[in-house]
Amino acid sequence: DGGITQSPKYLFRKEGQNVTLSCEQNLNHDAMYWYRQDPGQGLRLIYYSQIVNDFQKGDIAEGYSVSREKKESFPLTVTSAQKNPTAFYLCASSPGQMIEKLFFGSGTQLSVL
């Protein structure tokens, strides 16, 4: 079955540590996205990529970094510069620029030890 796979499901970060969240899709979609979800809030866009080797900052990119070396993969690194990283992170993809909907992964819950 085609879909988006996020791993791990739960992740713990120590102070000053960088951690990387994985997102893989086999839908052959061009565009991929990372969203952050905090309790009681909607989703906020961190980064997005519309094509391989290209990505743009979203609304809350500070303290995060991404790469898009392959069409299927869009990993998100939460750096030590992100002072409040505890949140639920959702990866999504879409076929291209003109889409009707995003397809989402099942998310990664990141917590700080």
Partner 1 sequence: AQKITQTQPGMFVQEKEAVTLDCTYDTSDPSYGLFWYKQPSSGEMIFLIYQGSYDQQNATEGRYSLNFQKARKSANLVISASQLGDSAMYFCAMRDLGGATNKLIFGTGTLLAVQP
Distance CA 95, CA 93 (A): 7
Q: Is 107 in the site for partner 1 (CB under 8 A)?
A: yes
Distance CA 82, CA 26 (A): 30
Q: Is 90 in the site for partner 1 (CB under 8 A)?
A: yes
The residues that bridge with 86 in the sheet, in sequence order, are none
Identify which of residues 44 and 80 has a Cβ nearer to partner 1 in the complex. 44
Binders of partner 1 in range 3-62 (CB under 8 A): 31, 33, 35, 40-45, 48, 50, 56, 58
Q: Is 92 in the site for partner 1 (CB under 8 A)?
A: yes
We find the least distance from the C-beta atom of residue 2 to partner 1, in angstroms, to be 15
- Assign 3-state DSSP to the chain and report helix, strand, coil percentages, each to 5: 0, 50, 50
We find the least distance from the C-beta atom of residue 56 to partner 1, in angstroms, to be 7
Structure tokens, 59:
């609304």
Q: Which is it for the CA torsion 5, 98, 78, 66, positive or negative?
A: positive
Q: Is 105 in the site for partner 1 (CB under 8 A)?
A: yes
Question: Contact, 110 vs 85, CB < 8 A?
Answer: yes
Identify which of residues 28 and 56 has a Cβ nearer to partner 1 in the complex. 56
Residues that bind partner 1 (CB under 8 A): 31, 33, 35, 40-45, 48, 50, 56, 58, 88, 90, 92, 94, 96-107, 109
